[in-house]
Amino acid sequence: MDFEKRLIDLETKISFQDQTIEDLHEAIYKQQQQITQLEKTIENFHNQIKSGENDIRPNEKPPHY
């Protein structure tokens, strides 16, 4: 195998690795955004439960009864 072919092969591999790293970075970024949004939602639910501002009343019959 000559030097030029080996160099081309290495450059090709590096280019695929760069694309893979970029794809993984984008996936992690999107997942972090989803995690942040879920944390905010959970915090809101927690605050509603603490303050008693929920619509669930365990001893009250639903209106269709």
Residues 3-52 pLDDT 10s: 999 999 999 999 999 999 999 999 999 999 999 999 999 999 999 888 88
Question: What is the Cα–Cα distance from 13 to 22, expressed in whole angstroms?
Answer: 14
**Kind and range of the H or E element at 54?**
none
pLDDT score at 63? 73
Structure tokens at 13: 């591999």
Question: What is the Cα–Cα distance from 3 to 53, expressed in whole angstroms?
Answer: 72
Per-residue pLDDT band for 53 (boundaries 50, 70, 90) equals low
Question: What is the Cα–Cα distance from 65 to 59, expressed in whole angstroms?
Answer: 13
Q: What is the 3-state secondary structure (H, E, C) of 9-24?
A: HHHHHHHHHHHHHHHH
pLDDT score at 52? 81
